[in-house]
């Protein structure tokens, strides 16, 4: 039988890129994954660059020049619509933070103007948020009583707003938006649900018409306070409150659908998170000087804005003007709003934030995500908001670290009548090349998983030998498929060297399959390539298998 | 031209495994990666299992029955050799912790006996360690003075030893050895170097023969103290100390090589880290009741033990007996050991722990690993041991999280005259299939990188369109190669759905290539497979490309 030397695909052993090149590329991917300066690349003239830079940092310059009456008509309508939402929300959320209602209304007057200048989103509506209001009230309330010393309390609220603004602006400028990536969807769902639950319980004060209450926010303390002050219960208030709540709930399940649908579409809007947080920061810095407290872009208001057909940030300007008129002419009326109605409005809004379907979806698809969600939910509701958030983020990070520490590896087999090698657990019935054990490693190899990977590979070999012994054949070659290994550190390289030594002691040869760019560079720099030999590095498993079978004078085609 | 329907490899759409199955497999990989119970699997009889269990948990039952005089001869020799090391080390490390020298000697008497019973390693020699001694002395010294209240001080040392033992035993029983994986090689190199540096500086007290000194450990405080008490300098002491140090250094460069070589071989010994930490725990619990302080398996002593030819843990028993004889008959002599000689011995041992070559290697291969190492080195030397360690581990975890948050993606091209698709940055000159953009994602997709991956894919498409526009061709298909994606969470699935919507809006079709077992299960559970359609999931890029070209009535072979 004639034996042909197998043609082998060439592996690229080019010298590693310089430290400067890789550092630049890493920094770019870490802090500028969205390539924000892309638009400047083709701009040659100085004036053009200045103009683009101005448009980039102050987005109003981008959309205002093309603004016209047709767009304005849409924005007026949506601006008026969100004002109708801003008034009850402003008053009731301010109540949550023990802040005078008028401050809540101010907060929908100045900040929207700032956002209209610096904001990126076309649909976002500026306003106060229940969770922030509650956490401000709770934190400052621990130090200063809003009843005994209202001036100091309010000054602290403004100071908090100011420093939050500074902090947000710095975060954006330093491109620390990456931190937000560590807030998982599950954490947010649980946190919102937990916060909504505890805010609902807080409303029992208003609904039962209680005079005394607890300053604590957790559900147990609140229920205890409600039961403790049962002499103060007013059944008339409770009946009105509950009827109003039921009425609001019915008129809201439609709204829920609208919110869901609009978010699906709004998500497609490309917004630079770091620029957005700078806009929020500026909005809060200016806000703190003009008697406003913490504002951001609440979900519900933004959804209403979108559904009302807003076209640009001009709708925020319209809301601001409407709010000014309200403050001038209608403000005195709002002091007569009954507490029980406010409580029912808040409770109704909050009930909409508990996303049962999503929680069930998490339970069905991923139990650990469900656990992360529940940690936030129950942590926030029964312990405290910060503690719940920390617990949930901690669990999520723990999982990220376990992913990192215990990457999935698998044993590859050949799909009959093809040249593909796939996971033999996932695809039962794959064929093996006798004497060859092909393993696929996933995720980067480094200090946190290097020990594990060594143990795991040794175990694969041992298990394979346990099976093979029966068939009177032993493992002669281990192929490590590194296609899924995007990077490696020095501990990882040391581990590969150790694995090679361990297998060498058992007379098993090792081959590296398809190392990626960064891995190859480190392998060259650390002289791993010299140690293992260029001949032991292949571009594909087939290449390696063919080369092995050729060297053992067997014909590949005959065997498989 | 006749067109053939491409034969396509079948993707496995089997129903997902149950939660119980995957949980069990995850727990096993996380806590039992070394499969410690493997040996029990083939054991059927009850007596056999009990015997194996006893041998498993108390390793002495495994090796003692087969022990013979030939092995004993080796162990006697090595046991006597390490006793010669144990005496100066015991005395001098105890000094570092302001502990009476006799306690240092006791610590090489009882703990080795316990280790001989419960330890796994054949080569490990039990003894005290410089870093632990220093940290104990520093921590307890902050509360109680070893000079003013020696009894309380010593009791606290024993209490610390006891609780460390309890803590170690629990860690081992709970299989928390996984935590050790998060100590990177770079951190250990830096920590050892930093500790060695600061212990060397501490020896200036003994070498200059100072009476007064600082209780602080950092280099700056120590140098300041040495300069401050310059009236106390004894030049005779300094001259003797330095000459002795130079002498020791010369006799040690040989030893250094021996240590290096023996570790390379010792590494091949398979030791169960969790069982080992239980042995250390038991050793310290019993030790704390018998006037011993913290012991472990120091590198230098273990290397000497190995080189002296030890065969089993019996060498520890021999050392223990030798130490007992020393304590009975020779102990009074040691009170005359001059301080300057002890200082020179410690300084010499410590200088050997600063691994310059490894530090240079880190600098050359991986700059970030070098940074992690330097953080530990300078943190320990100039701030404090705990702070240095925390800084270094923090940096290493930060890098792990950035790896996780910013996984490498790449654009694939076809290697001419083959069916392989590889990174087109790594392999220049690859060909493209017009209208098709193939991307490879690495590492798990989940909350921490989901946003990034969305942005990155959109950017790949945009960049491709920028290039393609010139050629008057557009992206019609995006192929996402998930071969390297070992797992996904619900945020990750949501992101894939979002990406699909975003591309849909641009009339770009998406195809998923080779999803791995766990990813496929989540895709099925979350109905992603139903949404995208089974036809859009392929086992290989070639399959996808063939199917696309077939559907657009072009022949693949003609094009590439």
How far is it, in rounded angstroms, from Cα B190 to Cα B183? 11
Nearest C-alpha in B relative to A447: B184
Give the whole-angstrom CA distance, residue B534 versus residue B551: 16
- What residue of A is the nearest CA neighbor of B179? A448
Res. A22: pLDDT tops 90: no
Report the C-alpha gap between B126 and B119 in whole angstroms.
10
Higher pLDDT, A335 or B31: B31
* A68 pLDDT tier (thresholds 50, 70, 90): very high
What are A354's two structure tokens?
């508990």
Determine the pLDDT at residue B498: 86
Tell me what the mean pLDDT of segment A477-493 comes to.
Answer: 90
Please tell me the least confidently modeled range out of A354-368, A529-543, B313-327. Answer: A354-368
The shares of helix, strand and coil residues in chain B, as percent rounded to the nearest 5, are 65, 5, 30
Question: For residue B34, what is the nearest residue in chain A, using CA coordinates?
Answer: A455
Instruction: Identify the pLDDT of residue A107.
Output: 94
Structure tokens at A148: 């005994």
User: Cβ–Cβ of A517/B423 closer than 8 Å?
Assistant: yes
Out of A427-436, B171-180, B482-491, least confident range: B171-180
pLDDT range class, residue B560, cuts 50, 70, 90? very low
Cβ–Cβ below 8 Å for B30 and A402: yes
Question: What CA dihedral angle connects B294, B119, B298 and A451, to 10 degrees?
Answer: -110
Choose among B431, B464, B443, B445: nearest CA to B556: B431
- Res B109 pLDDT > 60: yes
Give the pLDDT confidence score for residue B105 in this predicted structure: 92
pLDDT at A92: 85
Q: What is the pLDDT of residues B184-223, one digit of tens each?
A: 788 888 988 998 898 888 888 888 888 888 777 788 988 9
How many Å apart are CA A325 and CA A340, to the nearest integer? 26
| Chain mean pLDDT for chain B | 84
In sequence order, the 6+-apart residues with CB closer than 8 A to the CB of A375 are A190, A388, A391, A392, A395
pLDDT confidence of residue B2: 46
Kindly state the tokens that stand for A292.
């406003």
Please list, residue by residue across B509-537, b when 16 or more beta carbons sit within 10 angstroms of its beta carbon and e when fewer do. bbbbbbbbbbbbbbbbbbebbeebeeebb
Decide: B292 and B132 in contact? Cβ < 8 Å. no
Chain A residues with CB under 8 Å of B366 CB are 489-490, 522
Q: Tell whether A339 is within 8 A of chain B (Cβ).
A: no
Residues near B329 by Cβ (< 8 Å), separated by ≥ 6?
A: none
For B495, residues 6+ apart whose C-beta sits below 8 A from its C-beta are B445, B450, B451, B453, B454
Query: Model confidence at B558, in pLDDT bands (50, 70, 90)?
Result: very low
Q: In what order do the strands lie in the sheet with A409-414?
A: A421-423, A409-414, A436-442, A477-484, A509-513, A537-538
| pLDDT above 50 for B556 | no
Q: What are phi and psi of B428, to 5 degrees?
A: -65, 155
Predicted local distance difference test score (pLDDT) of residue B57:
84
d(CA B30, CA A168): 38
**C-alpha–C-alpha distance, residues A283 and A27, integer Å:** 29
More confident residue, A73 or B466: A73
pLDDT at B268: 56
For the segment A129-139, what is each residue's pLDDT rounded down to a tens digit? 888 898 898 88
Round to whole Å and give the CA distance between B110 and B287.
Answer: 6
Mean pLDDT is lowest, of A84-98, A159-173, A541-555, B270-284, for A541-555
With cut-offs at 50, 70 and 90, classify the pLDDT of residue A2: very low
Bridge partners of A479? A438, A511
Strand-pair category, A436-442 with B537-538: unpaired
| CA angle at B397 for the pair B264 and A366, rounded to the nearest 5° | 110
| CB atoms inside a 10 Å sphere around CB A218 | 20
Confidence of residue B559 (pLDDT cuts 50, 70, 90): very low
- The mean-pLDDT minimum among A189-203, A348-362, B224-238, B256-270 falls in B256-270
Q: Which H or E element spans position A224?
A: helix A219-228
* pLDDT for res B554: 52
Has residue B329 got a pLDDT over 90? no
Tokens of B138: 């520093």
* Token pair for A139: 């934190």
Q: Does the CB of B489 have a partner CB in chain A at under 8 Å? A: yes
Query: Average model confidence (pLDDT) for chain A?
Result: 84
Number of Cβ atoms within 10 Å of the Cβ of B436: 21
Find the DSSP H helices in B97-182. 101-106, 110-118, 130-141, 150-173
Q: Is B74 exposed, middle or buried (0-12, 13-18, 19+ CB in 10 A)?
A: middle
User: Residue B435 has what pLDDT?
Assistant: 87
Across residues B489-504, what is the average pLDDT? 88
Which pLDDT belongs to residue A490?
85
Contacts of B12 in chain A (CB under 8 A): 426-427
* Confidence at residue B267, expressed as pLDDT on a 0 to 100 scale: 55
Tokens of B503: 């591309």
pLDDT at residue number B291: 93
Distance CA A359, CA A361 (A): 5
Residue in chain B lying closest to A450 (CA): B181
Q: Which range (A27-41, A45-59, A130-144) has the least confidence?
A: A27-41
Decide: A259 and A123 in contact? Cβ < 8 Å.
Answer: no
Q: Among A469, A470, A471, A463, which Cα is nearest to A437's? A: A463
Mutate: best of A276, A489, A528, A543, partner B, most B CBs <10 A: A489
Instruction: Point out the least confidently predicted range of A423-427, B181-185, B204-208, B547-551.
Output: B181-185
| Whether pLDDT at B270 is above 70 | no
At residue A560, the pLDDT reads 43
Say if the Cβ atoms of A403 and B444 lie within 8 Å: yes
CB distance from B470 to chain A under 8 Å?
no
Which candidate from B184, B410, B420 shows the least CB-CB separation from A491? B184
From chain B, the residues in CB contact with A449 under 8 A are: 181
For the ranges A416-420, A472-476, B370-374, B394-398, the maximum mean pLDDT occurs at: B370-374
Q: How far is B230 from chain A (nearest CA, A)?
A: 44
Asked if B36 reaches chain A (Cβ–Cβ under 8 Å), the answer is no
């Amino acid at each position: 039988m004639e034996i042909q030397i197998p043609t082998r695909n060439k592996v690229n052993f080019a010298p590693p890129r310089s430290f400067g090149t890789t550092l630049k590329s890493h920094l770019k991917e870490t802090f500028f994954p969205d390539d924000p300066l892309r638009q400047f690349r083709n701009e040659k003239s100085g004036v053009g660059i200045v103009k683009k830079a101005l448009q980039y940092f102050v987005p109003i310059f981008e959309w205002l020049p093309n603004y016209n009456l047709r767009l304005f008509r849409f924005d007026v309508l949506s601006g008026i619509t969100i004002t109708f939402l801003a008034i009850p929300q402003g008053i009731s959320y301010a109540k949550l933070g023990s802040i005078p209602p008028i401050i809540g209304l101010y907060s929908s007057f100045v900040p929207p103007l700032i956002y209209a200048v610096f904001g990126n989103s076309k649909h976002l509506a500026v306003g106060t948020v229940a969770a922030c209001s509650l956490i401000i009230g709770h934190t400052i309330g621990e130090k200063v009583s809003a009843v005994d010393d209202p001036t100091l309390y309010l000054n602290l609220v403004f100071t908090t707003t100011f420093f939050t603004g500074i902090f947000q602006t710095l975060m954006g400028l330093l491109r620390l938006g990456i931190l937000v990536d560590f807030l998982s969807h599950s954490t947010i769902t649980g946190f919102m649900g937990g916060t909504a639950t505890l805010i609902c319980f807080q409303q029992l004060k208003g609904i039962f018409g209680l005079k005394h209450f607890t300053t604590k926010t957790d559900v147990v303390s609140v229920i205890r306070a409600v039961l403790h002050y049962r002499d103060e219960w007013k059944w008339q208030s409770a009946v009105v409150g509950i009827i109003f709540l039921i009425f609001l709930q019915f008129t809201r399940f439609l709204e829920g659908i609208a919110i869901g649908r609009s978010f699906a579409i709004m998500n497609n809007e490309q917004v630079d998170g770091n620029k957005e947080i700078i806009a929020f920061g500026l909005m809060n810095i200016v806000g703190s000087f003009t008697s406003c407290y913490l504002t951001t872009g609440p979900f519900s208001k933004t959804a209403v804005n979108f559904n009302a057909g807003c076209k640009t940030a001009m709708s925020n300007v319209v809301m601001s003007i409407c709010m000014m008129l309200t403050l001038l002419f209608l403000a005195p009326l709002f002091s007569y709003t009954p507490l029980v109605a406010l409580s029912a409005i808040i409770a109704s809004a909050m009930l909409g934030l508990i996303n049962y379907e999503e929680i069930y979806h998490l339970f069905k698809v991923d139990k650990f995500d469900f656990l992360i969600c529940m940690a936030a939910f129950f942590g926030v509701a029964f312990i405290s908001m910060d503690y719940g958030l920390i617990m949930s983020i901690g669990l999520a990070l723990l999982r990220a670290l376990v992913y990192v520490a215990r990457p999935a590896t698998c044993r590859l087999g050949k799909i009959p009548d093809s040249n593909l090698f796939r996971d033999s657990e996932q695809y039962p019935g794959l064929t093996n090349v006798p004497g060859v054990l092909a393993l696929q490693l996933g995720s980067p190899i480094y200090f946190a998983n290097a020990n594990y990977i060594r143990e795991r590979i040794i175990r694969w070999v041992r298990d394979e030998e346990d099976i093979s012994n029966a068939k009177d054949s032993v493992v002669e070659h281990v192929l490590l498929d590194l296609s899924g290994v995007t990077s490696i550190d020095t501990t990882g390289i040391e581990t590969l060297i150790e694995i090679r030594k361990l297998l060498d002691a058992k007379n098993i040869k090792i081959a590296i399959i398809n190392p990626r760019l960064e891995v190859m560079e480190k392998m060259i720099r650390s002289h791993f390539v010299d140690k293992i030999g260029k001949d032991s590095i292949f571009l594909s498993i087939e290449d390696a298998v063919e080369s092995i079978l050729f060297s053992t004078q067997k014909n590949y085609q005959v065997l498989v």
